[in-house]
Each structure stands twice: as C-alpha cells, then as structure tokens.
Amino acid sequence: MRVARLALRRLAASLPTMLVILVGLFLLLQLAPGDTVDALIAQIGGGDPAMIAELRRFYGLDATVPVQLGRYLWRLVQLDLGHSAIYGKPVASVIVERLPATLLLMASSLALALAAGTALGIVAAQRVNGWPDTLISTLGLIFYATPSFWIGLMGIVVFAIHLGWLPPGGFEEIGSGLTGWARAADIALHLLMPVATLSLVFMAVFLRVMRAAMLEVTTLDFVRTARAKGLRPAAITIRHVLRNALLPVVTLAGLQAGTMLGGSVVVEAVFALPGLGRLAYESVVQRDLNMLLGIVFVSALLVIAVNFLVDLAYARLDPRIGAG
C-alpha cells in the first residue's frame, strides 16, 4: 500500500516534466528550417503556391504558434501523434508496428545487463584486488569504452561472416512461414548478437556500481555488528551486504533505461532490426519531423514507465522510503 501510494505520487510528479518535454519539442520543431509541407513538396518534386497554401491549411500550419501549440497538446492527450508524410499513415500506427522489436531488444538487454553485471560485480567485490577482480574490472572497462556499433560490426564479422554461426542481421527469416516455438527460436537467434551488443556497455556500468556498492556497504557499522554476532562470511554477504548494495544499482537501472533506448538506435541500424530506433534514424534522414517527435514522445513514456517500475522495486527493497 505504501509502495503503491509512493509510486503513484512519483508518477504524478512526472506530469509537469512531460509537459516541459512536449512544449520544448514543439518549440524545437518551430525552429526547423522546413516543415512537413516542405518535405512533402520536395518529395513530389515541387508545386504551385496555391497548392502549398492549401496543404498548409490542411495540416493546420497556417495558424499562430500558440494556437498550434494548443492543438498539438490536445492531440497528444488523445494519443494522436499526427500524420507521416513519408509513410502516408498515421504516425501512431507506424510506431506501434515497430514497437515490439525495440521492446524485446530493450527488455532482454536490460535483463541481461542487470543479471550479468550484478553477478560479476559481486564476484569482483568478493575477491577484491585478486586476479578475478582485476580481470573482471578490466574487461568491464574495455566494454564500457568500446563503441557499441563497433562491437556489433566486429561481431558480425566474426560470428556471421567468418564462422557463420549467427545471422548477420534482421529480425527473423522473412518468408520462411515459421510459427510458434520455431518462430520464437528463429527470432531469438537473430536477436542474440544485438542483445549481447547492447547489453555489454550497460553490464560494464552495473558491474562497476555493484562492486563499489558491495565494498562500501562492507565498511558500514551494521556489518561489523553482524561479524560480532558470529555470522559466517557467506551469511554476512547474502543476508546483510547484498540487499543494501542493490539499492544504488536499482536506481541506476532506471536512469540507464533512457540511455539504452538511445543506444538501440545504433544497434538497430547495425543489425537492420525493424524497431523504433531505426525508425528514428530514418526519420532524420527523410526529414519526417512529425514521426521523429512522435518517437520521442513514445520514448519518454517508455522511460517514465520503466522508472515507475524501478520506483516500485526500490520501495519494496527499502522500508525507509515513503515512511511517515
């Protein structure tokens, strides 16, 4: 109950932030050198002034800025993200088509990064300054420093081109007609490298934070109390250190969700995945600003949703939050 109330309070607090984001995006849009109509005209190769004026009126681009802002916000509340000139479909429907791939990619990468990162961080902290620690920390640092698209490319070179174990890109075998478990397995095979690529960087971050948190918590007073009570080292680690060390990692997971979404742009581009990230990239290239803003809006919603879940998890872990 306390947990739910707290999370709802945080959710409500993010509404003004969302407003800031939307207004900011809208104003940014106004600064763009061209608008939807210009892109459309360019696509069809030119048009006469009368038609341009008509198109402007059709898209509502002839009204004043405050009016446009009002209409824009009103439409967004109804989840109407506008119309894509390039795809000829409502922005919302295009985004919905591309959402599953990105969600799958992100969820798997976040899960893998968290699981592997915390596990390795614990191992490194248990053997501080020994060779496992040095090895894990060094590898972590290297993965953190390597650009994800480079890892992806090199992965393709090694595993797809030279060894032929994994497909070099795409979401699944098009036209193969697979269904059920076979289809799931096929998708899993295609997503193996992209997920590994995306999660490596974040795994390195979680690893470092978990290791530092474990070492920090071990110096705290209540761990000394536990030792004075005669607990075995394993019991001390599991029952006292671990839970307390997880707190900063959980917080970090929320903060990194947004960064991961941004990272998916590059990974989806490298592996040719039909996701939101690649859609964003294409929108930039095709100057489909409506689509781009729609993607940013949906991304913000996704990040807020992830943060909500993280807040719930944190409140479950720490009884001090939201108390009194």
- Which residues in the 53-72 window bind other proteins by CB under 8 A? none
b/e per residue, 268-282, with b = 16+ CB within 10 A?
Answer: bbbbebebbbbbbbe
Its sign, for the CA torsion 260, 266, 267, 272, is positive
Does 17 participate in binding other proteins (rule CB under 8 A)?
Answer: yes
Q: Which of 111, 141, 185, 238 binds other proteins (CB under 8 A)?
A: 141
Q: How far apart are CA 2 and CA 36, in angstroms?
A: 47
Q: How far apart are CA 319 and CA 25, in angstroms?
A: 38
Residue with Cβ nearer other proteins (60 or 262): 262
Distance of CA 42 to the CA centre of its chain: 33
Q: Which stretch binds other proteins (CB under 8 A): 70-78, 115-123, 185-193, 296-304?
A: 296-304
Q: Number of C-alpha atoms within 13 angstroms, CB side, residue 229? A: 12
Q: Which of 44, 67, 161, 182 binds other proteins (CB under 8 A)?
A: 161
Q: How far apart are CA 76 and CA 276, in angstroms?
A: 19
State the helix-helix crossing angle for 276-286 and 242-271, rounded to 10 degrees: 50
DSSP H stretches of helix in 32-147:
36-44, 49-58, 65-77, 91-126, 131-145
Applying CB under 8 A, the site for other proteins has a residue count of: 80
Q: Which of 1, 50, 77, 145 binds other proteins (CB under 8 A)?
A: 145
CB of 323 to other proteins, least distance (A): 7
Q: Which of residues 232-261 bind other proteins (CB under 8 A)?
A: 232-233, 235, 239-240, 243-244, 255, 258-261
x/- track of binding to other proteins for residues 87-116 (CB under 8 A): ------------------------------
Residue with Cβ nearer other proteins (57 or 227): 227
CB of 43 to other proteins, least distance (A): 16
Does 196 participate in binding other proteins (rule CB under 8 A)?
Answer: no
Residue with Cβ nearer other proteins (53 or 96): 96
Q: Which stretch binds other proteins (CB under 8 A): 96-104, 169-177, 187-195, 229-237?
A: 229-237
Q: How far apart are CA 214 and CA 245, in angstroms?
A: 5
Amino acid type, 303: V
Q: Which of 3, 29, 99, 119 binds other proteins (CB under 8 A)?
A: 29
